[in-house]
């Protein structure tokens, strides 16, 4: 039996690990198939406080991990296939591929969210070479350049407006004539002179030379005509999916699948089960906000464990 298991190694999970390890709670952290989370897919992070000259995403995550290990946090690689929270009281059982069954008194879910991709040729292989799923992270690198935003929701509108601070031209490509975004967000984008529009066009291929993206091939949904839009960067803003499939609906979520927590805390509807980071945040989705909620989850879990220390933790994994 473990005192506390943390699922996920993005900024939320690693911050929770640092706090819990430092509080002698001996956390076990299970890292899935993308250790370090979404930040390992970006290059330079310039808006994480404390790094005057910025820091590379993978380096930031590596440092957080080492910091947690310094205080005794244990990391194990494994894929959580399922959890059993049906008793609504600990011990909770996790079935982890490669590690077998793990029992724990408290559970912190920080499995993050994944940006949805289009799954078109040229897309995945050019992430970091002009294809991005995060305007806030990568917009700065497109100063004076032409960029495309794909999507017609609030994220696409917001990111398009944000990108006009850097790019010389921002083109929104949407698969329908109508936009899904709220009227106010649409109006803001429409009023922005740097934004141009390609509506009713389905993206079919990302084009690139040996080093970077050069264009996007789209198909007009009415005429079937194909066209190449030249660009230096392609931002995909077609939504995110929280990584919660393994929970099998045992934890309450909102309509879009994000875990709901009690306001001002990280407590889910199940006692001793906490959620932090992007898996419970569809709004801010920043490394620093994820780290902040990771800290909250650690403090919530610590208080919970102090009040519920009824199990024998001596048989550790």
Residues that bind ligand NDP (CB under 6 A): 118, 151-156, 158, 174-176, 180, 237-239, 282
Q: Give the nearer residue to ligand NDP in terms of CB position, either 186 or 265.
A: 186
Active-site residue among 62, 134, 187, 232?
A: 134
The nearest distance, CB 296 to ligand NDP, in angstroms, is: 22
CB of 6 to ligand NDP, least distance (A): 26
The residue with its CB nearest to ligand NDP is: 153
**Nearer residue to ligand NDP within complex by CB, 54 or 239:** 239
Q: Which is nearer to ligand NDP, 156 or 275 (CB)?
A: 156
Q: Least distance from C-beta 39 to ligand NDP, angstroms?
A: 19
Give phi and psi for 313, each to the nearest 5: -95, 5
Residue closer to ligand NDP (CB basis): 5 or 259: 259
Q: Of 62, 137, 187, 278, which is the active-site residue?
A: 137
Coil, strand or helix: which one is 209? coil
For Cα atoms 290, 293, 299, give the angle at the middle one, nearest 5 degrees: 145
Q: In terms of CB distance, is 256 or 316 closer to ligand NDP?
A: 256
Asked about 276 being catalytic, the answer comes back as: no
| Catalytic residue chosen out of the listed positions 84, 138, 295, 312 | 138
| Spatial CA neighbour of 282 closest among 301, 255, 250 | 255
Which tokens hold the place of 129?
Answer: 């070479």
- Minimum Å distance from CB 293 to ligand NDP? 17
Residue 257 · residue 244 · CB < 8 Å: yes
Residue 219's Cβ-count burial label (10 Å; 0-12, 13-18, 19+) is middle
Nearer to ligand NDP, 156 or 261 (CB): 156
73 close to 9: Cβ distance less than 8 angstroms = no
Quote the least distance from Cβ 2 to ligand NDP, whole Å.
35
- Alpha-carbon distance values, 129 to 9, 14, 43, 96, 116 (Å): 25, 27, 10, 34, 18
**Cβ–Cβ < 8 Å for 73, 63:** no
Work out how close the CB of 60 gets to ligand NDP at its nearest, in angstroms, rounded to a whole number.
Answer: 24
Rounded least distance, CB 124 to ligand NDP, Å: 14
Beta strand 240-242 with 169-174 is unpaired
Coil vs helix vs strand at 13: helix
Count of residues for the chain?
Answer: 317
Instruction: Name residues whose C-beta falls within 8 Å of residue 29's C-beta, 6 or more positions apart in sequence.
Output: 5, 6, 7, 8, 9, 13, 14, 17, 68, 73, 74, 75, 76
Q: Please, what is the Cα angle at 16 between 10 and 21, to 5 degrees?
A: 125
295 is catalytic: no
DSSP state of 159: H
User: Catalytic residues, which ones?
Assistant: 134, 137-138
């Amino acid at each position: 039996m473990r005192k506390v298991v943390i699922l996920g190694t993005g900024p939320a999970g690693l911050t929770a690990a640092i706090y819990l390890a430092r509080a002698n709670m001996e956390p076990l952290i299970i890292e899935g198939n993308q250790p370090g989370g979404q930040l390992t897919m970006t290059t330079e992070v310039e808006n994480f406080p404390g790094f005057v000259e910025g820091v590379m995403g993978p380096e930031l995550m590596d440092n957080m991990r080492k910091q947690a290990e310094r205080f005794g946090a244990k990391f194990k690689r494994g894929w959580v296939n399922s959890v059993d929270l049906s008793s609504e009281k600990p011990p909770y059982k996790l079935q982890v591929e490669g590690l077998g069954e793990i029992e724990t008194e408290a559970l912190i879910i920080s499995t993050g969210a994944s940006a949805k991709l289009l799954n078109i040729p040229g897309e995945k292989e050019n992430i970091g070479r002009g294809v991005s799923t995060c305007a806030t992270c990568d917009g700065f690198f497109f100063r004076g350049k032409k960029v495309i935003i794909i999507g017609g929701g609030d994220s696409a509108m917001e990111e398009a407006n944000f990108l006009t601070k850097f790019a010389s031209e921002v083109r929104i490509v949407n698969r329908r004539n109508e936009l899904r975004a709220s009227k106010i967000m649409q109006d803001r984008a429409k009023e922005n002179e740097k934004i141009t529009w390609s509506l009713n066009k389905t993206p079919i291929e990302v084009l690139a030379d040996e080093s970077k993206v050069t264009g996007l091939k789209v198909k007009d949904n009415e005429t079937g005509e194909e066209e190449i839009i030249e660009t230096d960067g392609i931002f995909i803003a077609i939504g995110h999916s929280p990584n919660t499939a393994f929970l099998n609906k045992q934890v309450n979520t909102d309509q879009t699948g994000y875990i709901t927590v009690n306001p001002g805390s990280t407590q889910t509807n199940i006692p001793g089960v906490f959620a932090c980071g992007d898996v419970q945040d569809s709004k801010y989705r920043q490394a620093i906000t994820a780290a902040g909620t990771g800290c909250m989850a650690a403090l919530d879990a610590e208080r919970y464990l102090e009040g519920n220390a009824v199990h024998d933790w001596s048989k550790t994994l």
